[in-house]
Amino acid sequence: MLPVSWKDKHISLTRYYAKQSTKICKGPDDFHRSAARIPRTTFAVVIVHIATGSNLGTRIDQLDRADDELSRLGRVLRVSPTYETAAVGMAHGTPDFLNRVVEVELDPVWAENPEGTMQALLDIEREMGRTRVAGAVRSRPIDLDIVLWGDRTLDLPGLLVPHPRMLGRRFVLQPLADLVPDAPVPGTDRSVLDHLRGLPVDVPDIASWPTA
């Protein structure tokens, strides 16, 4: 049986939180009183998918730590299998990367703050030892990129979603398809799985990373 699709899950969560948006309150005594509906703060459920990668240090430990750190943003729902891939576009002999995708349901404070969320990811990278240099492609202990922000497209300073290079990267599309194969990629008329299957044959292959 196929898992519940991302779209169905998003709809069901949205309906759940909508139902929680009111609260029935009664008086403290034993007399029947009219129920008062007191509005509660409501928010749209936002589920993001974050690609994580590492090619320095104990790579699998770096990814596991990143999973834990992402709980700062909300509830980590699922983590994809891990894959190993060559360091694309980097010098010969550069250590291979381990990559995965993490699915996070954002807390309300982040749900309508994409730029703040991206800054939080940069803070995690820095705390884990990464130094970003503009225009340079370097090895790093951790790399965190927002590849999907629900069903939205974002075009903000320093943040484009869907990630502008994800559709040409097997090491992003494969773990993303493991989680949400049928999710439409915003700005296209195709699903994540469709994009994965449509990759050119010259896109570097990836290998499953042992879990034990």
Residues of the chain with pLDDT under 70: 1-43, 132-137, 211-212
Same domain, 192 and 87: yes
Q: Are 52 and 142 within 8 A, CB to CB?
A: yes
Give whole-number Cα distances, 125 to 52, 58, 87, 113, in Å: 10, 15, 19, 19
Same domain, 199 and 136: yes
Same domain, 64 and 87: yes
What would the DSSP string read from start to end of 170-192? HHHHHHHHHH-TT-B-TTSSSBH
Report if residue 95 sits inside a domain: yes
Same domain, 106 and 18: no
Residue 141: closest CA among 66, 48, 51: 66
Report if residue 56 sits inside a domain: yes
Number of folded domains that form the chain? 2
Q: What is the pLDDT of residue 32?
A: 35
Report if residue 147 sits inside a domain: yes
What would the pLDDT profile of 16-64 be if each residue is shown by its tens digit?
Answer: 333 333 333 333 343 333 333 434 456 689 999 999 999 999 999 999 9
Instruction: Name the token pair of 120.
Output: 């939080």
Which domain range does residue 31 map to? 6-39
Same domain, 111 and 154: yes
Q: pTM score, two decimals?
A: 0.78
